[in-house]
Chain A
Amino acid sequence: MKSLQIFEAALNGGPAPRIPIFCNLFEQGARELGMSQQQYYAKGEHVAVGQLKLRQRYGYDNVWSLFYVGREAELLGCREILYTEDGPPNVADFPIKSYDDIAKLEIPADITAHPLWAETAQCLQILQQEVGTTHPICAYITASTTLPAMLMGMDQWLELLLAGPVDVRDELLRKCSLFVQQEIAAYRAAGANVLVYSTPFGTTALLDRKRFNAIALPWMKADLTPGGVGNIVYLCGMAPFNNVITQVLDQLAIPVYYISPMADLAEAKALIGNRALTCGVIDDIKMIRWTPHQIRAEVRRLCEVGMVGRHFLFGTALMPLAVPEVAIRTMLEAAFEYGRYR
């Protein structure tokens, strides 16, 4: 079976020889091509080739069309990205500096007409051409409740969200949600078939339950309803969200849940059951210092807990550049070994 079929089997609970194995390597692509981060991310072609080479080198199942998370802020007016050679690029200019800027914020009528989108489209075109029928192609979409953190800074956004004028807050959320809806449609049209919906406010680790119900949930519905939830992955940064899984399943019917390494995977799996796909995620920050034995033991544990009843995927979190090559190989070897169905 091809990787894409294995992913689909996991999604639907169908027969497959093994679980899908997702490995999220991003900045490693620049090293693979011998480029600086800034050079690498300047062209969609670089990102596509970097992704293909990394996948080929390690043999995991997925590729990514994501450049870096701040790319969405650039599509909405961010003019400066801080590049570094040892980590991901960072938003260095917030387009919203005062509440007045929220009124002025313009959502492009068609984000695919933006010059930066052309690079994303180029990346997706190459990925689609090379592995479109064989491998899952992932895209990253930041939820409308989180996007403002990239446009004005997390502390300014929390201040507005928790204690600011409600009409200003809602105007920003409405604009961000329109952007997210467009983005989802654009990624699907360009060939992405796994849409990772990053919604850190979709957990009570960030918001109290009252605000989760009153703000996060309705805006997630607004983001996702127009395009539907097909192949959407629920990701809350790396924050645990077990206590909202049932509610999200009932109300949004999202088909994939990327469980925090800090959460109880067995509990998550029990809550999700065969209603959706559960992703067991390794704590790849610990992988920086873990021995091969520790990595293998953790992969084994995740597989043993998650594979019961199928509907399971093994994945990584952010895979920092500091994770050694030997650790990546050890993790993947173990995932292919313990992720086999007997």
Chain B
Amino acid sequence: MLNSFIKAYNEAVFETDKDAAFNAVNAALAVGIRAEDVVFKIVIPAVEEMMSSISQDPDANLAQHFMTAQIAAEVTEKMLEKFDHPPEIVGRVVIGTAHGDLHSLGKRIVMGCLKALMVEATDLGANVPAQRFVDEALAHDAQVIAVSAMMVHTAIGENGARKVRRLLRERGLEERIKLIVGGAPYRYDAELFQTVGADAWAADGVSAARTIIHLIEQVKHHEVVANL
């Protein structure tokens, strides 16, 4: 029976039909499927499916990314209220747009996917100074800083990710906190992320969530090795 709800939910997400996605979830709950199963067996696999299809399908579009993230985040938020026990958090990330950049769409897509994937994401908003990224990452014990930039000067300028990298280096935090960047300029030049000293980049908001999880795993692995 679960399979029919998975199919209905996946189709709704693919068609960016939010109402149909919620109908599938509500129908699943109505027949007694647990909220935990809705999240872990329907919502998260759908996000992962979208991640795969985006990397394989050149026709995947921004509308799908956006709605996948929004639907997943909203469903997850509602389901979490019904969980018997709070779920285990995969890791923590602070995210914002680079200093001077007011474009928040990419950040919002990433946040939505992270929420569904059980990553605790702290939204620092738009036009965030580099110092604040680092301070907030420490305050939230985050493994990853995610900097979104939609314009060339905010993507490569001295006050964006480049400065975050410099601060991490100066404060000896490079093993403890990883830096990921995303946004249009990085798509037009796939080598650009290296010039600003980022550990990784992602071509779109949905794939960014997966890359962030890999970075969290790297940091955790490093901590385990360091504690041996």
Residues of A within 8 A of B (CB): 82, 84, 86-88, 90-92, 153-155, 158-159, 161-163, 204-208, 211, 238, 243, 261-262, 283, 285-286, 288-289, 317-318, 320-322
Contacts and interface: CB of A to CB of B under 8 A. Distances in A.
Interface of B: 15-16, 18, 59, 61-64, 66-67, 70, 100-105, 108, 127, 151-154, 156-157, 184-185, 187-189, 191-192, 195
A285 B192 contact: yes
Contacts, number: 91
B157 A90 contact: no
Contact of A86 (B103, B153, B184, B195): B153
A330 B102 CA distance: 33
A155 to B, nearest CB: 4
A285 B156 CA distance: 10
Given A90-B102, A208-B63, A285 B154 contact: no
Given A87-B154, A285-B188, A204 B100 contact: no
B61 A208 contact: yes
Given A87-B151, A163-B67, A238-B184, A283 B59 contact: no
Given A87-B154, A163-B18, A322-B156, A206 B61 contact: yes
A262 B186 CA distance: 12
Contacts of B15: 208
A66 to B, nearest CB: 16
Nearest to B100: A84
B105 A155 contact: yes
Nearest to B108: A155
7 contacts: A87-B152, A88-B153, A92-B102, A159-B66, A163-B70, A238-B188, A286-B189
Contacts of A285: 152, 185, 188-189, 192
Contacts of B63: 158, 161-162, 206-208, 211
Contacts of A261: 188
A156 to B, nearest CB: 9
Contact of A286 (B102, B103, B157, B188): B188
A88 B64 contact: no
A247 to B, nearest CB: 15
A285 B149 CA distance: 14
A190 B110 CA distance: 44
B56 to A, nearest CB: 16
B105 A158 contact: yes
A92 B127 CA distance: 10
A87 B183 CA distance: 16
B157 A162 contact: no
Nearest to B14: A208
A154 B157 contact: no
Closest 5 CB pairs of A and B: A87-B153, A320-B152, A285-B188, A154-B105, A86-B153
Given A163-B18, A286-B189, A87 B157 contact: yes
Nearest to A94: B102
Contacts of A321: 153
Contact of A320 (B18, B66, B153, B187): B153
A88 B157 CA distance: 13
Contacts of A262: 187-188
Contacts of B195: 289
A320 B192 CA distance: 14
A268 B18 CA distance: 35
A87 to B, nearest CB: 3
A161 B16 CA distance: 11
A208 B151 contact: no
Nearest to A283: B188
Q: Which of B61, B63, B151, B191 has the most CB of A within 10 A?
A: B63
B151 to A, nearest CB: 5
B114 to A, nearest CB: 16
Given A163-B18, A238-B184, A243-B59, A318 B152 contact: yes
Q: Which of B67, B101, B151, B188 has the most CB of A within 10 A?
A: B188
A204 B151 contact: no
A283 B62 contact: no
A162 B19 CA distance: 11
A286 B18 CA distance: 38
A153 B104 CA distance: 8
Contact of A208 (B16, B184, B191): B16
Contacts of A158: 62-63, 66, 105
A87 B160 CA distance: 13
Nearest to A290: B189
Contacts of B153: 84, 86-88, 320-322
